[in-house]
Chains A and B, each alone.
Chain A
Amino acid sequence: MCNQACPGRITLYCGAVAVFLLAGSGLFAGQPQDQLKKTLDAVLDAVKDPALQGAENEQNRLDRVTALLAERFDFQELGMRTLGRTWNGLSAAERDEFVSLFRKLLENTYLTNIDQLTNDNVIFDKEIKLSDDKYTIVTRAITTDKKEIPVEYNVKSDAGNWLIYDVKIEGVSLVKNYRTQFSRTLQRKSFQELLTQLREKISELK
């Protein structure tokens, strides 16, 4: 048997296994991208699922897609970043209420749009390390008319779970866009009025 005869090979083999296991446990770079890819693949599967086809299943399909994407988003972080400095002066209850309303707004608008972006094909170009726990994942979404739309996801580690805290579509950041809107609103109105406006907006969408 070669294994007994050449211990060098065993070492090599063990080394390869160890590398494989380490890669699997995510100690190597690539994990943020892998997790995002898994979510986007799952969304694609849901969109194509035969059990969810047809107009009568549209709501089920959307619910499924929204649930899958919501798992990959850090809404607390998103809310914090869109409010900027205002966030610091809020009570825990106010923060929670804002985050849950903002989450509903995004679920009812952007998340259903992102599913259009995953309809066809997503090319993962690269991961850019921003810091130890933050990455930007650069992708291109290919639309049905073969147009490439650059989409960047900013992700942050939450105990090994890489969650999205900003999406940039064609260079336009979701967080920045809402931050501009919220800061303009807060120049004229109180925070409570902002919450009321969000509530009204959500009920309009339903």
Chain B
Amino acid sequence: MFVTCPSCIGAMPVMRIVYFLMPLFLLLSVVTTTPATAASDSTDNAYTDDYDDNGAETDAISDPLYRVNYAMYVVNDRLYLLILEPVAVRYAQVVPQSLRENVRNFFINARAPVRFVNCLLQGKGAAAWCEAKVFVVNTTVGILGFDAAAQRYLELETTGEDLGQTLATYGIGSGIYLNWPFFGPSNVRDTVGMIGDSFLDPLHYLRTPWRIGLSVYNVENDISLHPGKYQDFKDAALDPYYAFQDLHVQTRNEAISK
């Protein structure tokens, strides 16, 4: 319903900077122990007892880079509301919705190797097999993935697995919260995952201008399919920075649990 998936954003050359900064963040994530104190305080309550299902994960996020992350939140917020969404709205006026859904299907299909490999890495054989079937059907019958034929006619579903989730199932903690320009909310583990996944993403092997162009186009196309949702969610928030941070944390925890 609301803007949810930071994971739907593909690989970008910003990655080079990320590679460069990675050791620093890894170090930070090791040095900073996750302060679960505030979180356990609020869950230790008779009224909230049936939320114990998520235990300490609830709200427990380490954000020592708050100032930088907050600045990036402001940058991304302006970028989204002043440039990305207005462009997407114009684009939606020209291109019919069914065609934009086809484009979304194409990009989702192209990332099949990422999902397939991560299903295997998580020991989910049936899901990996399902991914393979969906990919073959959609790439052929669905014409390069523009039509999600496998989902429509065979009721097969893709998983949305990625390396960040794989690492989480190996017991690796999220590390500190990171809010990347353009990519949005993430953490150390998921950033490492995003870099790893990029090697399995066909977009990664295109020439740089094409890679950037198609990645941005993918984002614009996605936004055009849910205009106004970002603003709706922001409007409902008392503190948008933490609302988006929590949205990210809950979305990731949900994805990992599946």
State the A residues within 8 Å of B (CB). 80-81, 84-85, 87-88, 105-106, 109-110, 113, 116-117, 130-131, 134, 141, 145, 149, 154, 169-173, 175-185, 187, 197-198, 201, 205
Interchain CB contact under 8 A, A170 and B38: no
Give the residue name and chain of the A residue nearest to B234 (CB). A109
Q: Is B236 an interface residue (CB 8 A)?
A: yes
Complex interface: chain B residues within 8 A of A176 (CB): 51, 58-59, 246, 250
Complex interface: chain A residues within 8 A of B58 (CB): 176
CB distance from B215 to the nearest CB of A (A): 22
In the bound complex, what is the Cα–Cα distance between A116 and B101 (angstroms)? Answer: 20
Complex interface: chain B residues within 8 A of A87 (CB): 45, 47
CB distance from A200 to the nearest CB of B (A): 10
| Top 8 A-B pairs, shortest CB-CB distance | A171-B254, A109-B236, A84-B42, A180-B246, A172-B250, A181-B239, A184-B242, A85-B45
Interchain CB contact under 8 A, A172 and B238: no
CB distance from B239 to the nearest CB of A (A): 5
Asked whether A145 and B47 contact (CB < 8 A) given A172-B250, A178-B238, A181-B237, the answer is no
Asked whether A169 and B2 contact (CB < 8 A) given A176-B58, A181-B242, the answer is yes
CB distance from B111 to the nearest CB of A (A): 18
Give the residue name and chain of the B residue nearest to A175 (CB). B51
What are 18 of the A-B contact pairs (CB < 8 Å)?
A: A80-B47, A105-B236, A106-B236, A113-B236, A117-B1, A169-B2, A171-B254, A171-B255, A172-B250, A173-B51, A176-B58, A177-B246, A177-B247, A180-B246, A181-B239, A181-B242, A183-B38, A184-B239
Contact of A145 among B101, B232, B235 (CB under 8 A): B101
CB distance from A199 to the nearest CB of B (A): 11
State the B residues within 8 Å of A (CB). 1-2, 4, 38, 41-45, 47-48, 50-51, 58-59, 97, 101, 225, 232, 235-239, 242-243, 245-247, 250-251, 253-255
CB distance from B219 to the nearest CB of A (A): 18
Complex interface: chain B residues within 8 A of A173 (CB): 51, 250
Interchain CB contact under 8 A, B42 and A198: no
Asked whether A170 and B236 contact (CB < 8 A) given A80-B47, A176-B59, A181-B242, the answer is no
Complex interface: chain B residues within 8 A of A141 (CB): 1
Complex interface: chain B residues within 8 A of A105 (CB): 236, 238
Interchain CB contact under 8 A, B225 and A145: yes
In the bound complex, what is the Cα–Cα distance between A130 and B51 (angstroms)? Answer: 11
Complex interface: chain B residues within 8 A of A116 (CB): 1
Contact of A149 among B1, B44, B232 (CB under 8 A): B1
Interchain CB contact under 8 A, A84 and B43: yes
Most interface-central of B2, B50, B101, B236 (chain A CB within 10 A): B236
Contact of B238 among A110, A113, A130, A201 (CB under 8 A): A201
Asked whether A110 and B251 contact (CB < 8 A) given A176-B246, A180-B245, A187-B38, the answer is no
Give the residue name and chain of the A residue nearest to B247 (CB). A172
Give the residue name and chain of the B residue nearest to A150 (CB). B254
Give the residue name and chain of the B residue nearest to A77 (CB). B47
Give the residue name and chain of the A residue nearest to B244 (CB). A177
Complex interface: chain B residues within 8 A of A171 (CB): 250-251, 253-255
Contact of B232 among A113, A179, A184 (CB under 8 A): A113
CB distance from B253 to the nearest CB of A (A): 8
In the bound complex, what is the Cα–Cα distance between A80 and B46 (angstroms)? Answer: 10
In the bound complex, what is the Cα–Cα distance between A105 and B237 (angstroms)? Answer: 9
Seed contacts A141-B1, A176-B58; 12 additional CB < 8 Å A-B pairs: A84-B41, A84-B45, A84-B47, A85-B44, A130-B50, A145-B101, A171-B255, A177-B246, A177-B247, A182-B238, A183-B42, A185-B238
In the bound complex, what is the Cα–Cα distance between A197 and B51 (angstroms)? Answer: 27
Contact of A170 among B48, B97, B235, B254 (CB under 8 A): B254
Interchain CB contact under 8 A, B243 and A181: yes
In the bound complex, what is the Cα–Cα distance between A158 and B235 (angstroms)? Answer: 31
CB distance from A157 to the nearest CB of B (A): 14
